[in-house]
Chain A
Amino acid sequence: AAVPSQVVPGADPSVRQLCFCWGPAEMLVCETLFGRRGGSRSRSRRPLLPAALSRCVAGTGEAGPSSSRVFVVRKDQDIYIQTLRKLFNESHGIFLGLQRSEEELAGKPRKAQLVQVSKNYRSVIRACMEDMHQAAISTREPALQSQYSTQVSILSAMELIWNLCEILFVEAAAAGPLLLRLLDWVRLHVCDVDNMVREVLSSEQPSKHELFWNVVDIFVLQGRMDEARHLLSKEATAHPSSGNMYKILDDLMKKMPVPSLGNTQTLTEMELKWQHWHEECQRYLQDGTFASDPRMESICKILLGDEDAILEKKELMTTWYHFLVTRLLYSHPTVKPMELRFYAQAGNTRISSLDLFQGGESSPEPLDTILMAAFEFEIHQVIKECSIALSNWWFVAHLTDLLDHCKLLQSHNLYFGSNMREFLLLEYASGLFSHHSLWQLGVDYFDHCPEYGRVYLELHIERIPLNTEQKALKVLRICEQRQMHEQVRSICKIMAMKALRNNRLGSALSWSIRAKDAAFATLISDRFLKDYCERGSFSDLDLIDNLGPSMLLSDRLTFLGKYREFHRLYGEQRFKEAAQLLLMLMTAHIAPCSFWMTLLTDALPLLEQKEVIFSAEQTYELMGCLEDLTVGKSEKQKFQDDNETTKVEMLRLALARNLARVIVKEGTLEGS
């Protein structure tokens, strides 16, 4: 039966039919009356790991009988937890380091390096856990406190799973060292009994403490032989009468063969020694050496791997996986990775360690299922269960990426998207992009998704709100570095439009120049020209005078720049050059027709100068321009505007007079 993994608060499928629409990192759920059926399903929910997976971000309107609500369901809730931002940021660096090392060291053996990467990820988790723990201690608000404590337990579960995966998959420890690693793992994570140990050890006379034997047992169960022997030696001196018994037990514990980390002994050697030692323990148990002291007898039974004796100490192990590792330590220390599944799940007794430990009383928690899957080497199951149980994508995305670098996921392809690594990275990065501030981290994750990363980035980057130019520049840089021309254009256009709305023509123009957006540059140039026509002077001279090569972006911009140049020449009384430029703007059709009348009017003061400026030929050309302008219009609308008509008359007169003057002048020059 399908177990609901997400519950949308406020949405009740028994009352209203729900429909949904998937989106990147978010899902829309809305209530609908369509296809309504009777009969409500069971609404009992099984709690997952202690965190809700979803939340209603936006509910619209009251839930009246006819109104429907829309819920925005975010799939990655942990993204919004402030203290986890350290985790996201620091692991981002580790992630990038891993991808870079892949490029640099292609093909080389690099298990040690991968283990180091794995350890770095774990140390970030632990650091976060520490911060969260501190926060929980220092806050006075009960609600916050419980929230922090919940986060601590989630982080602790994540680190526990990650560590096991590191031992089994990343390091892939071989028989022998495998068990030592598992022991370390248990010692690191089963810390419920640490307080008891501390209490007893710090008491004045530990051997007199009521929990003394519990602590000895704890040490034995965790394989901490030296510590156990040290404690026992104290007890021995207090009971000289049973000195022999203590000595024998101490001797057995001292002689217990331990798998070596190096290559100093072969597995066979180890097994041989083990067999020998095991038989010795057996002998002492059978001849009743410890019969007078049940506590020591029980320890001897543990050393022999007696399941019942170990199970008796259940409270001291607190978890089934501690029980599993202890059982392995004393019954099969040279367990091979692939044999783990038998001990974890079925084993000789056909009952799993989990069931044995819990006595079949309660059903497994998600964490148990995940660890069990790991012991069974079902990597995909581990990832799947984690995806369901954890309220973030961070964990599965990074773990899967690491395992993928260990070449453990090659064969697996999804029936949708590309592969599992990419799928999870895309989900995680999409979550980052839905966050108002963490979106920058998401970019690099998309970069390392060869199949769909680019498309996702393109979709997400356009949705980043651009409240300042500086932020726009940062987004733009991301797009430019990746040759995302479409997005570059779109961002520049948004910024140019904003500037235009704010009457910042100069800024608007710089943005369209950056996007090489000719159409928009033309639009802005027209605004400049219109302003000029209205006010009779240019605004933003500092910009127009400094257009440089960008002037060539659009014809209109070229005209604007050149027209401004004409004014400068005129202002500097370089009339000849000014006149030539003015004429060229019309004859070379750089100026838009609508602007010709203004240009011709600008020619008036030049025509009226004492000195003749336009040559005969230039005057004819000017006349031609004026006629071109009037011919088109005269037939239909004439010049309705009196002002315009006067202007034309004045121009005609000025041109005629100039022509007269220039003919005389040029004639005189030729004649002389």
Chain B
Amino acid sequence: AMEDVCAKFVSEKISKTRWRPLPASALQPPDLFATGSWDNEDNRISIWSVGDVGNVGLNGEYQGEPQLLCDIKHDGDVMDMQFLDQERIVVASSTGTVTVFRHHQNNHTLSANQRWEKAHYHVDQDTLSGGAACTGVICNNPEIVTVGEDGRINLFRADQKDAVRTIDNADSSTLHAVTFLRTTDILTVNSIGQLKIWDFRQQRNEPSQIFSLTGDRVPLHCVDRHPNQQHIVATGGQDGMLSIWDIRQGTMPVSLLNAHEAEMWEVHFHPSNPDHLFTCSEDGSLWHWDTSTDVSEKPSFLHQGGRSTTYFSHNTINQSVVSAWLSNDPTKDRMEITNLIPNQTLSVNSLDILGPCLVYGTDAEAIYVNRHLFA
């Protein structure tokens, strides 16, 4: 519920928020997250704690706001950020540099562990200026893939100084985001509405498949893959539209869902509960898309108090075989969409979900944590 959300104003615009991943055996909810800032004279990476023992109330419920554990200066805007493992965070900078920071958990300090200067650049890598913003990074320990405004794709390995593979001019437009499809394939989205699959086993520097939006070729800003059904991919566009793709078939999206009123900055399937999807946008909203709703249990007139809830209409056929996300006629399926931010103002730049926990950051210089997402 809304009252579970805890806000903290942090005096810097937040561009990225990421939960620290949990060990496979962990039963507790996540307790640490990292944030990155942008557009400041000095930007920084910060580590926050939400599970501090001192903050737990008598009934065990969480009370206090996030506590800053440590931070470190970062050169340039933080464009993207991913945890490589429990300790290391890979950060993409607007200067084109990719840095691996290590969070020393014993004394809570941050240090730069490894750095690829100007991994993304225009014209000439050696000139003083000329770095091109690195717009996206994705990790699959020890592999790190980055994309940038220079249309370049880099494959790094955490323990190697030089790039394992670089595809120069992979895209003639700006690459906005990247994610792993399988261990050897990645997905990228670009500023002319294309979704491309790249296979690192192939030596030629061309995508193995290109999908694209029809019509106006609206830029795509974010991409995520269904955690269990890898052929299902979600992307978010400049017009705020959510597109669902089935990469096994066709070259166009299976469904286009009207969502936000401005750029969709991030889209995430819930990692362990992929019937749920979360998106955030420049328009200041954060939407929870829920396809798990069982019609027989919830009549459509039953709205939850205070939330602006929309139901796509009824007539549910038995969809248990096909994923709810792939029904190309959304009217045949039920989807409950909830805006989690009632009085939206400035952009929600980033969100992350893990277990029952949601964290998001805004241009209004605030971070928000909700630890009871499904309560």
Contact = CB atoms under 8 A, between A and B. Distances in A.
A89 B14 CA distance: 13
Interface in A504-551: 504-507, 510, 539-543, 546, 548-550
B215 interface: yes
B345 A506 contact: no
A638 interface: no
B343 A97 contact: yes
B282 interface: yes
B61 to A, nearest CB: 23
Given A85-B365, A437-B13, A437-B39, A470 B79 contact: yes
Q: Is the interface of A mostly helix, strand, loop or mixed?
A: helix
A474 interface: yes
A469 interface: yes
B69 interface: no
B11 A504 contact: no
B171 interface: yes
Interface in B95-140: 122-123, 130, 132-133, 135
Interface residues of A, number: 40
Given A92-B345, A436-B39, A507-B172, A468 B9 contact: no
A548 B9 contact: no
A550 B123 contact: no
A459 interface: no
Interface in B58-90: 77, 79
A474 B39 CA distance: 12
Given A507-B174, A539-B172, A550-B216, A440 B11 contact: no
B149 interface: yes
Given A444-B345, A473-B238, A548-B215, A540 B39 contact: no
B173 A89 contact: no
A469 B122 contact: no
A504 B150 contact: yes
A469 B133 contact: yes
Given A89-B365, A436-B41, A474-B347, A469 B174 contact: yes
Contacts of B130: 502
A103 to B, nearest CB: 14
Given A93-B364, A437-B40, A502-B122, A546 B133 contact: no
A440 B364 CA distance: 8
A477 B262 contact: yes
Given A436-B40, A473-B238, A474-B347, A468 B133 contact: yes
A510 B191 contact: yes
Interface string A490-507: 000000000000111111
Given A89-B364, A468-B149, A470-B135, A437 B79 contact: no
Contacts of B363: 440, 474
B192 interface: yes
Contacts of A550: 216-217
A546 B216 CA distance: 10
B282 A507 contact: no
Interface in A200-234: none
A248 B149 CA distance: 85
A507 B135 CA distance: 14
A298 B191 CA distance: 81
A543 B77 contact: no
Given A93-B345, A473-B282, A474-B347, 17 more contacts: A86-B9, A93-B364, A96-B345, A97-B343, A467-B133, A469-B135, A469-B149, A470-B77, A474-B363, A506-B172, A507-B151, A510-B174, A510-B219, A539-B172, A540-B172, A543-B173, A549-B216
A192 interface: no
B192 A510 contact: yes
B217 A546 contact: yes
Residue picked from B79, B151, B346, B363, most chain A C-beta under 10 Å: B346
A468 B76 CA distance: 10
A41 B135 CA distance: 58
Contact of B365 (A86, A503, A505, A548): A86
Interface string B340-352: 0001011100000
A437 B12 contact: yes
Contacts of B210: 542
Given A85-B365, A467-B94, A474 B194 contact: no
Interface string B207-224: 000101011110100000
Contact of B173 (A85, A440, A477, A507): A507
Interface string A78-95: 000011011001101100
Interface string B34-62: 00001111000000000000000000000
Nearest to B238: A473
Contacts of A507: 149, 151, 172-174, 191
A435 to B, nearest CB: 10
B11 A82 contact: yes
B366 interface: yes
Interface in B202-259: 210, 212, 214-217, 219, 238
A247 interface: no
A598 B346 CA distance: 52
Given A93-B364, A510-B191, A503 B122 contact: yes
A543 B364 contact: no
Interface of B: 9, 11-13, 38-41, 77, 79, 94, 122-123, 130, 132-133, 135, 149-151, 169, 171-174, 191-194, 210, 212, 214-217, 219, 238, 262-263, 282, 343, 345-347, 363-366
B11 to A, nearest CB: 4
A189 interface: no
B21 to A, nearest CB: 25
Nearest to B212: A546
A407 interface: no
A543 B343 contact: no
B40 A543 contact: no
A545 to B, nearest CB: 9
A471 interface: yes
A665 to B, nearest CB: 41
Closest 7 CB pairs of A and B: A506-B172, A540-B172, A502-B122, A85-B11, A86-B9, A543-B172, A506-B173
B172 A504 contact: yes
Contacts of A540: 172
Contact of A549 (B77, B94, B174, B215): B215
Contacts of A85: 9, 11-12, 365
23 contacts: A85-B12, A436-B39, A436-B40, A437-B12, A440-B346, A440-B347, A440-B363, A467-B77, A468-B149, A469-B135, A471-B38, A502-B150, A503-B122, A504-B150, A504-B174, A506-B172, A510-B192, A540-B172, A542-B173, A543-B173, A546-B217, A548-B217, A550-B217
Contacts of B346: 440-441
A148 to B, nearest CB: 14
Given A85-B365, A546-B192, A468 B217 contact: no
Contact of A502 (B132, B135, B173): B132
A392 to B, nearest CB: 16
Most buried by B among A96, A441, A470, A503: A470
Contacts of A82: 11
Nearest to A100: B343
Most chain A CB atoms below 10 A, which of B11, B40, B238: B11
A507 B193 CA distance: 13
A541 B79 CA distance: 28
A549 B214 CA distance: 10
A548 B40 CA distance: 39
Contacts of B79: 468, 470
A256 B318 CA distance: 77
A625 B294 CA distance: 69
Contacts of B216: 548-550
Interface in A392-449: 436-437, 440-441, 444
Contacts of A542: 171-173, 192, 194, 210
B132 to A, nearest CB: 7
Contacts of B192: 506, 510, 542-543, 546
